[in-house]
């Protein structure tokens, strides 16, 4: 079996053309795939190889970067946070959002009343269902 036949049988392509000679090796150019099966194989040739790095140190000698219990936390007092002008709290105050909205109590009360009305309607529907008898 010649080198061309070996390459052609290995890649399922019947025609192989020699293009040039370099350093006593032959560079071969394969004709483009024509069948659907050859096109599927070509799709998988562009897969990048991934390298895996294995740490061979014993587990006790490896640093644990996911354990945050040993990291000192930054704490700010409530008074210092409320006095800042570049915080979310200051933005909510300036935009009158959430509890800083002058209409917030009324909105909250309307939500509570709506949920009470929903409970009453569902309760009435349940009462109608419970009054039905099955023969």
DSSP 63: -
Buried b (16+ CB within 10 A) or exposed e, 66-76: eeeeeeeeeee
Cα 48 to Cα 45: distance, rounded to the nearest angstrom: 8
pLDDT score at 88: 95
Q: What is the predicted pLDDT for the residue at 44?
A: 56
Query: Encoding tokens for residue 125?
Result: 């529907």
Q: What is the pTM for the complete model shown?
A: 0.34
Q: What's the pLDDT at 94?
A: 93
Q: What phi, psi does 25 have (nearest 5°)?
A: -105, 155
pLDDT of residue 54: 86
Burial of 27 (0-12, 13-18, 19+ CB in 10 A): exposed
Task: Give the pLDDT of residue 38.
Answer: 62
Query: What is the phi/psi pair of residue 94, to 5°?
Result: -70, -30
pLDDT, mean of each 10-residue run, the chain (135 residues) = 58 43 46 59 62 86 85 93 95 91 88 93 80 66
């Amino acid at each position: 079996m010649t080198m061309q036949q070996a390459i052609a049988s290995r890649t399922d392509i019947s025609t192989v053309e020699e293009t040039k000679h370099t350093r006593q090796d032959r560079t071969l150019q394969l004709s483009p795939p024509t069948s659907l099966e050859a096109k599927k194989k070509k799709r998988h040739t562009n897969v990048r190889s991934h390298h895996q790095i294995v740490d061979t140190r014993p587990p006790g000698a490896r640093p644990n970067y996911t354990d945050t219990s040993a990291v000192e936390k930054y704490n700010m007092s409530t008074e210092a946070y409320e006095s800042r002008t570049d915080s979310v709290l200051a933005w909510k105050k300036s935009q009158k959002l959430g509890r800083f909205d002058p209409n917030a109590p009324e909105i909250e009360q309307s939500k509570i009343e709506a949920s009470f009305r929903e409970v009453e309607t569902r309760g009435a529907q349940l009462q109608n269902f419970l009054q039905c008898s099955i023969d």
